[in-house]
Amino acid sequence: MNVRVRSIGAIQTAKTLAVIYGAVGIVAGIVACLAIISEPFHTNDYWGATALLALIAIPIGYALVGFVGVVISAWIYNIVAAKTGGIEFTLTNLDTNLE
């Protein structure tokens, strides 16, 4: 079965992907936090606060930037899809017996 995506719900898609980007941001924040903590020559006395800030700010930043980026991307896709017809792909029904 061939189907075509003619429009993307920008806000719903952005909310969903913002959660995914936030999860990726948690991993990136942990890596950044560990890198800051393991630095042998700390240049200031606030390295602990810097590590904690990275652990909090990076996931929030990833989620916010991801949300805005997806809203803009979905908006652009909807404009282009209105003129070109959208992306077409083929679906296969896995519940159907092909024997």
CB 3 within 8 A of CB 81: no
**CB half-sphere exposure, 79, CA atoms < 13 A:** 5
Higher pLDDT, 80 or 93: 80
pTM: 0.77
Q: How does pLDDT run across 6-59, given as a tens digit for each residue?
A: 999 999 999 999 999 999 999 999 999 998 888 777 777 788 888 899 999 999
Q: Smallest Cα–Cα separation from 89: which of 18, 4, 24, 8?
A: 4
Assess whether pLDDT exceeds 70 at residue 96.
Answer: no
Assess whether pLDDT exceeds 60 at residue 99.
Answer: no
pLDDT bin (cut points 50, 70, 90) of residue 98 is low
